[in-house]
Amino acid sequence: MSSKNIYPILNETLSKEDKELQLNQKALVIWMIGLSGSGKSTLAKGLEKKLYQNGFFTQLLDGDNLRSGLNSNLEFSKDDRKENIRRAAEVANIFYNSGIITICSFITPTEEIKKIVKQILGNAYIEVYVNTSLDECKKRDVKGLYKKAEDGLINDFTGVSSPFEVPQNPDIEVNTESMSIEESIDKIYNTILPDIKNQ
């Protein structure tokens, strides 16, 4: 089917602002970046719980979960990584336009891939760098993925055989080696709180 014959439905009845008003919050996309084992998923789940306990409506998008379903046809080549993140950002954008605070947990290894996210999400995007050293991530690796990658059993593994570019200007940075999980969650929550309160 030609793209010329695709006509997206534009919601002219209910705006994002209408939905935010009903949910009593402002939508945002919190995008957590970091190496495998850095603590992204743990922080994302903890942040979602804290937001829920404080009356906010959220949706969590995790890299492994999306690769088990929506993105199950993608591998880990450069092009497939870009497509994986593009799809994730598009899904996050749908939730954002529904007034929902969306927490995303994806390695997002390069600036090139990050640009795709920013182009889709625009001002909705809040970047959180989960700063954890490669050595510490290897120590935490209960699945043995880093060892398999170093042994050549996993190709294109970020931090071993595929690059990870450290974010230069994240909106929020948490260091999970010097901060506890609770401290990290509190820092993220307190930083985003003014932006999600419907005042």
Residue 175 forms part of a structural domain:
yes
Domain count, the chain: 1
Residue 149 forms part of a structural domain:
no
How many angstroms separate the CA atoms of 151 and 98, rounded? 45
Q: Return the residue matching tokens 């170093």.
A: 150
Model pTM score:
0.89
Residue 39 forms part of a structural domain:
yes
Q: What is the pLDDT of residue 159?
A: 82
How many angstroms separate the CA atoms of 178 and 194, rounded? 26
Q: What is the pLDDT of residue 1?
A: 45
How many angstroms separate the CA atoms of 130 and 169, rounded? 13
For the segment 28-66, what is each residue's pLDDT rounded down to a tens digit?
A: 999 999 999 999 999 999 999 999 999 999 999 987 787
Residue 84 forms part of a structural domain:
yes
Residue 150 forms part of a structural domain:
no
How many angstroms separate the CA atoms of 22 and 45, rounded? 24
Domain that residue 176 falls in: 14-133+164-191
- N- to C-terminal Cα separation, the chain: 45
Q: How confident is the model at residue 115 (pLDDT cuts 50, 70, 90)?
A: very high
CATH of the domain at 20: 3.40.50.300
Average pLDDT over residues 168-195: 96
